[in-house]
Structure 1
Amino acid sequence: MEPFDKVSARANAFGTLGLAQSASSDDIREAWRNIAFEAHPDKNGGDGAALANAKAAYDLLRSEGLAGKGLAGSAAGKPRRPRLRKRVIQLETQDIDACRAMLNTALPHLQDTPVDSQDADRLQDADHIPDAVGLHGRNLTYFISAPVCEGANRVALPTSVLAGSKRVKTEILSFQSKDAGTGEVVVPVALATKKFPGARSVRIRFNADQQTQDEYWLAG
């Protein structure tokens, strides 16, 4: 590619990402992540063509060393705070088994209370175990594929995600929901810091399928 063509291609790449040519490497990566999230074909209103164009633009700038990690486009010598990356971890079988065991043994709502089969099914549906957990620094988001139930719900969560403990520690949280279906529960800060070692915040998302997990990761 001739020098003029390179300059033109680079300018077009910045334009495709909605950036000025003075944009830093962090700005380039952030713009690409935002477009990838909004234009992803799995997302409602996603645009595959826009995603492909943005990917080509990002790849071109990265090949020229403009989108790599470092201080490209920023003041030389100015320290930059490392960007916290989001990641999603699928829970291991031992974590899920520990959550299930705790739910099976902690049944205060059934003790000395006769229930019919319909009520028993409802209580079973209102017990939840996460499939995965999202980490963003010390902020935790638990993903549960099942919908939240109207009324009383219980969720068993592995709490030692950030503690690095070999022994799985599990906690059961109970809460009331006015609606059924998709929802998010924010654990009170005092409870989160007490029950989840090292955590700053804890959220629980219901009806959270693989697409929900992907959108969480892409938004990071």
Structure 2
Amino acid sequence: MEPVEKINARADALGALGLDQTAGSDDIRDAWRHIAFHAHPDHKNGDCTHFARAKEAYDFLRREGLTTKGPTTGKPRRPKLRKRVIELESADIDACRVLLNTALAHSSDQSDVASPTQNETGSDHVPEAVGFYGRHLTYFVPTPVCEGSNRVALPTSFLASARRTETEVLSFQAKDAGAGEVVVPEAIITSKFPGAKSVRIKFDADQQMRDDFWLPN
């Protein structure tokens, strides 16, 4: 249901209960109790037209969260964000490897630390999985960071309605080797990761790290 259609449906449901759009959850519940009693078929010689219409309207408003007591009174309930991890398809992994083989180490002038000034031999990385938490992305790379120049190829269009997956190569310098995490700068997220709010890349990531991603924050 489109937003405009949902707004109209709420207005119609409130109208069926004899209410306008300023009604709160208490008003909705009171109106339903009144109709449920006075318009019940037992009181209308079996005529259930008004009762059925009011019940359908109340059930709709209840599903929309408009009958809930408490601080969210009168407001639809927001969906609860769920974490999930997906394994990258072989085609996406192959596309990352091809891009790394054809891109120069100094071709990217955007990085979270600094881009290499020379075409140095560094360590190339490809993720095996990506975690989602709303619009927050976490890439899981099985290889450890190499001291010095590093490049990682990432599928970037998971949150966009793209017909094909786009892949970008990010370059960065590391002072130490081993496991680590890179937080992608906001400027790069805006230009390279459509729809994402934050992007993290975890290196030397094993299955345990992926499983830990599911744990509550």
TM-score band by shorter chain is: 0.5 to 0.7
Secondary structure of 1:218's aligned partner: coil
Which amino acid is the alignment partner of residue 179 of structure 2? T
Q: What corresponds to 2:155 in structure 1?
A: 158
Larger Rg: 2
Greater than 3 Å deviation, 4+ residue runs: 73-80
| Aligned residues: CA RMSD | 2.5
How do 1:62-211 and structure 2 match up within 5 A?
Answer: 75=70, 78=73, 79=75, 80-108=77-105, 123=121, 126-211=123-208
- CA deviation map 1:158-202 (0-9, x unaligned): 011111323121000000011111100000011111101111111
TM-score (norm 2): 0.58
- Partner deviation per Cα, 1:125-174 (whole Å, 9 max, x = no partner): x1000000011111111000111111110000001111132312100000
**Counterpart selection for 1:216 from 176, 195, 213:** 213
Letter in 2 for 1:81: R
Q: Which has the higher helix share?
A: 1
Cα distance in 1 for residues equivalent to 2:190 and 2:83: 20
* Alpha carbons 2:105, 2:171 under 8 Å: kept: no
Distance 1:184 1:74, change over 3 A: farther
- In structure 1, C-alpha distance between the alignment counterparts of 2:174 and 2:69, rounded to whole Å: 48
Instruction: Give me the identity figure in percent.
Output: 64
Report the Cα distance in structure 2 between the residues aligned to 1:77 and 1:202, rounded to whole angstroms: 31
1:108 Cα offset (Å): 4.5
Q: Look up the match of 2:4.
A: none
Distance of aligned partners of 1:183 and 1:108 in 2 relative to their CA distance in 1, 3 Å threshold = closer
Task: Name the CA shift for 1:82/1:147 in 2 (closer, same or farther; >3 Å).
Answer: same
| Structure 2 gaps, min length 5 | 1-64, 107-119
Once residues 201 and 108 of structure 1 are traced to their aligned partners in structure 2, the CA distance between those partners, rounded to angstroms, is: 24
Provide the C-alpha distance between the structure 2 equivalents of 1:96 and 1:218, rounded to a whole number of angstroms. Answer: 26
**In 1: Cα distance, 2:126 partner to 2:83 partner:** 21
Unmatched 5+ residue regions in structure 1? 1-69, 110-121
Distance in structure 2 (CA, Å) of the matches to 1:190 and 1:77: 35
- Count of aligned pairs between the two proteins: 137
Specify the alignment match of 1:30 in structure 2. Answer: none
